Structure 1
Amino acid sequence: MVATPKVFGGGKAKPVLEIRPDSPFIVFQGDAHNAEPVSLTGKLVLTNTDSIPVRCIKLSLIGTRKVSWLTNAVNPQQIVYKDEFLRENLQIYPTDHSSRKTVHHMGAGVHEWNFKFTLRGSLPESVEGLAGSYIVYNLHATMDRGMMAKTLYADKHLRIIRTLASEILSDAAMEQTNEDVWADKLCYKITIPQTNFIFGTQAMADFQLIPLKKGVTIGKIKMELHEHVVLNAIQGDRNLPHSWDAIVAKEEYDMPNDAEQRMTDEDDDNPFDESFKFKLALPFPKSLKKCRQNVETDFIRIDHKIKLYVNLHNPEGHTSQLLVKNNCVLFVSPNLPIGEDQMVLNPAAGIAIHGYGGWRN
C-alpha cells in the first residue's frame, strides 16, 4: 500500500534515499502454524536540494537463507545451499504503473511515501550469528533516474522475532525438578523453576544435596548451556544434514559457605546429619555471535540444554560426578530485543516493536 507523498522545505544536500521502517523488529507470536500475519510499515524518504529527474521508485522486501559447512573428510568439501525464499515488490512512484517509463521531475525538498507489507506468520524467523549460515531479511529501494542520471539505492536490515504464544507464556513456568539417590552416595533435589528463558537473561537452579556416605564431601559445581545445531542443505535431489554441539555458557562454583544446614538429630550414626541448600545462576550470552535462540525451520534447527555437574570427593581419594540434564528454550523477547551489533539492547532504549496482540508497544 502506497500513500500520497508529503513534501517539506528543501535544504542543501546531495539526493539521499532512506528507508525508515516504523520498527526494525517484527514479532510473530507463536509457531509457524499458528502465528497471525503481521504488518511491516514505514516510510521511504527522498531528500534532494534541487529538482531531479525520476523515472521510477521501487521498494522490495527480500528474505534470504544460506547454510554452509566443510565436510569432515580427508579432503574437506564446502557444502553450500543458498536461496531467496521471499521477494515482495512495491512500486512507490509513480503510482500509475503505465507511466513508469516516463521521466518525471521531482521538486526540491523532502519527499515521504508510506509503505506497507503484510508478512505471513509462517515465515521463518531471522537466524544470525552462525558462521556461514543465516536467515536474514532486508528492505531494498531503487530510484531509477533515467538514462542520464545515477540510480539511487537504499537498504535496511530487518529482524523477524518469533516469540512464544501467549497461552504458553500464561501457563505455569514448567518447573523442572530432578530428585533421586545417586550411587548410594548422594540424595539430591535440583530444581530449575522454568523451561522457557528470554535470550540474554539467566537460569537459576535450586540445589538440595544430602551426602549419604560418611566422608563424602561436595566439591565444585558446574553449570553449562549446550547448543545443538542441525543444518540441512539441498544438493540436487539429496538432502544433506550436518550437526554439532557446543558449550555456549558455563560457570563453576564452590558450594556457598552458608549452604550447610545441620540436622536436629546429632547422632553420628545418622547418615542424614547434614544437608546443603543453595541457589546458583547460569548467565546466558547476550550476543548472537556466542549463542542463538531456539530455532525450528526446514534448513536450520537449534535447541539447548542446561547441564549441571556436582563433584563428590570420596573418602578413598577419588572424585565422582553427578550429571543432571534439563531442557531449555531460549526465545528473543520484544521487551529485550537485539541490536544491529547482534547484542541484546538495553531495555530502556525505547525501541518500538511491531507485532501481534499484547506484544505491540
Structure 2
Amino acid sequence: MVPCNPDKSLRIRLDSKDVVFRRSHRDGQKQVIQGDVTFYTQSATTIKSVKVLLQGTRKVSWLTNTLQPQNVGQKEIILRQEQRLHTYVKSAAQASRAEPGLYTWPFSFTLTGDLPESVTWLPQDSYICYAITAEVTTGILSKTTRTTEHLRLIKSPSFWSDDLFFAPSIRELCFPSDFTCQVSLPQPYEPIDGDLILDFKLTAHHTKPIKIHSIQLNLFQIVQLIVTKDGSPWRTTKNERHITSTTLQPSDIAAFLEHTPAAHDDCADAICFSVPLPLPLPPYSPTQSVDEDNLKVRYKLRATVTTEDAQGKTCGKSVVFSPQLFVPIRSSPSGLEASREADDRCPCASSTTLPIYGEHVFDTLYCGEVPLAAEDALDFDDVGWRTARL
C-alpha cells in the first residue's frame, strides 16, 4: 500500500507476505520477517523519525438469537513489536534537512511458533490478522506519512502434499444379518484441493450374498467461536455446515469393484473397495483446519452404509471421522530481491501461490449461543480428542 502524495511516497517491501510456520518453527525455532521501509521525497525536508510496527489482532463476535439479540465479542492484541529505525537529533552531527531522493531503512521481526494463524474469511467481524505499519514524520509541523502491509500467518504441517504417511483411522459397523463393514480413512491429513478417500471392507459370516442398498458420504464443517474470561472459556457459539456429499447406489459400487485391483491376503474373504469424496475446487475450496484458543475449525466426515435383507428391509448405520485439511505449500520464488523486483514491475501484483479461502462456506450469519458443552472443552490433535489446557 503506497500513500497518495504528490511530493512524498512511502512503501514497505517484504521478503514475503505469507509467513509459513512448519513443524520445526512450532517446536521452538523462530521465524524471521525481513524487509525495508522505502521513503521517496521530491523536495528537501527534515526526516524527524521513522518507525515500523508489527501488530497482531484477534477478534471474535457474533449476534445471539435471544428475544433481545445481543452482540457478544472479544478483541485483544496478541502481538505488538515496534522498532524505531531513525530519529533526528538536532545537536547531532547530521544534516538538518534531507536532500530529495530515495531513502531506505531495513528492519526485521522475529515471530514465535505459538502465535495463531491468520483467519480473515469469517463473517460477523471475526478475524485474526497481522499487519506491519510504517510511519515517517517530516517537516517543521511533524507531518506523518503512514502505510500498512498485511501479513498472512500460515501454520502448515511439516510435510508436502505428495509425501503423507500416517496411521489410518478405522471404524467397524456390525449389522444384525451377521455382516460387518470395516471403514477406514487411510489418510487423516488431506490437502484442501484433493479427495477424501474411504476404504471399505465388507465381510459376511454366512453363505448368503451381501446386498448393499447404498453408501453415502457427507462432509461437514464445524466453526466454533469462544469468548474467554480470566483465561477460561466463558461463552461460545457453534455453527455446523454441510460442505459436500456423494451417494453410491449398487450399480456404482459394482463399477468401483470392477476397477479395484486384485484383493490382498487380508481381503481374500471379503469385498474391498475405495470411495473418493472430491472436495470443492477453488474458489469454493474448504478452509484449512484451525485449532486456536478462541477459534476452531473442524471437519466431520460421516459415512452411512445401508444394507438390504432378503425380505427387503433396510438397515443403515453410520461412522464419523475427523479429517484434518491443510493448505499444501508449494515451491515458489522467494527472497527479498525477487520481492523488490516484483514491486518495481507492478505495485499491486501478488506473488502468492496459495489458494484463497472460499467465502461461500459462510453465506449464513452466525446466530445463537450454546452453553460450553463437554466436547467443546477438548482440543483436537493428530490422533483424537484430548483434554484442553485451560
TM superposition score category, shorter chain reference:
0.7 to 0.9
Provide Cα deviations, 1:45-65, integer angstroms capped at 9, x if missing partner.
Answer: 223333344221211000000
Please point out which of 65, 76, 87 is paired with 2:80.
87
Q: Which moved more, 1:146-155 or 1:76-85?
A: 146-155
Indicate the structure with greater helix content.
2
Change (3 A) 1:182 1:147: farther
Per-residue deviation, 1:306: 1.8
Per-residue deviation, 1:328: 1.3
Provide Cα deviations, 1:94-119, integer angstroms capped at 9, x if missing partner.
Answer: 3x67889x995333333322210011
> Identity of aligned pairs, percent?
24
Contact 2:51/2:84 (8 A) holds in 1: yes
Provide Cα deviations, 1:31-52, integer angstroms capped at 9, x if missing partner.
Answer: 9962421101112122333334
2:167 is the counterpart of 1:174: yes
Report the equivalent of 1:117: 109
Where 2:97 maps in the other structure, the secondary structure is: strand
Per-residue deviation, 1:90: 1.2
Per-residue deviation, 1:326: 1.5
Provide Cα deviations, 1:53-91, integer angstroms capped at 9, x if missing partner.
Answer: 422121100000001112242222110100112111111
Tell me the amino acid that sits aligned with residue 83 of structure 1.
E
Provide Cα deviations, 1:249-308, integer angstroms capped at 9, x if missing partner.
Answer: 2121332552346xxxxxxxxxx9994634323315656x87432223222233223222
Equivalent residue runs for 1:37-48 within 5 Å: 37-48=30-41
Per-residue deviation, 1:323: 1.3
Indicate the structure with greater strand content.
1
Per-residue deviation, 1:15: 2.1
- Counterparts of 2:192 and 2:96 in 1: how far apart (Å)? 49
Equivalent residue runs for 1:30-41 within 5 Å: 30=23, 34-41=27-34
2:123 is the counterpart of 1:128: no
Report the equivalent of 1:105: 97
Report the equivalent of 1:157: 150
Contact 1:176/1:326 (8 A) holds in 2: yes
Report the equivalent of 2:279: 283
Equivalent residue runs for 1:183-262 within 5 Å: 183-184=176-177, 186-209=179-202, 217-234=211-228, 239-254=233-248, 255-260=252-257
Provide Cα deviations, 1:115-156, integer angstroms capped at 9, x if missing partner.
Answer: 100112222222232223221100111122235475321111
- Counterparts of 1:338 and 1:202 in 2: how far apart (Å)? 20
Contact 2:221/2:300 (8 A) holds in 1: yes
Change (3 A) 1:134 1:98: farther
Where 2:66 maps in the other structure, the secondary structure is: coil
- Counterparts of 2:314 and 2:143 in 1: how far apart (Å)? 72
Change (3 A) 1:206 1:234: closer
The two structures, once aligned, show a CA RMSD in angstroms of 3.9
Equivalent residue runs for 1:268-307 within 5 Å: 275=271, 277-283=273-279, 286=282, 291-307=286-302
Change (3 A) 1:71 1:47: same
Tell me the amino acid that sits aligned with residue 51 of structure 2.
K
What residue ranges of structure 2 are gaps of 5+ in the alignment? Answer: 259-267, 332-351, 360-390
Report the equivalent of 1:356: none
Per-residue deviation, 1:161: 1.4
- Counterparts of 2:276 and 2:115 in 1: how far apart (Å)? 38
Q: Which moved more, 1:133-142 or 1:251-260?
A: 251-260
Where 1:106 maps in the other structure, the secondary structure is: coil
2:18 is the counterpart of 1:25: yes
What residue ranges of structure 1 are gaps of 5+ in the alignment? Answer: 1-11, 262-271, 345-361
Change (3 A) 1:237 1:39: closer
Contact 1:137/1:158 (8 A) holds in 2: yes
- Counterparts of 1:213 and 1:145 in 2: how far apart (Å)? 89
Contact 2:17/2:150 (8 A) holds in 1: yes
Q: Which moved more, 1:305-314 or 1:121-130?
A: 305-314
Please give the TM-score of this superposition, normalised by the length of structure 2: 0.68
Change (3 A) 1:176 1:238: closer
Contact 1:28/1:36 (8 A) holds in 2: no
Please give the TM-score of this superposition, normalised by the length of structure 1: 0.73
2:53 is the counterpart of 1:56: no
Change (3 A) 1:115 1:33: closer
Change (3 A) 1:98 1:202: farther
Contact 1:230/1:241 (8 A) holds in 2: no
The number of aligned residues is: 319
- Counterparts of 1:145 and 1:34 in 2: how far apart (Å)? 43
2:67 is the counterpart of 1:74: yes
Change (3 A) 1:178 1:52: same
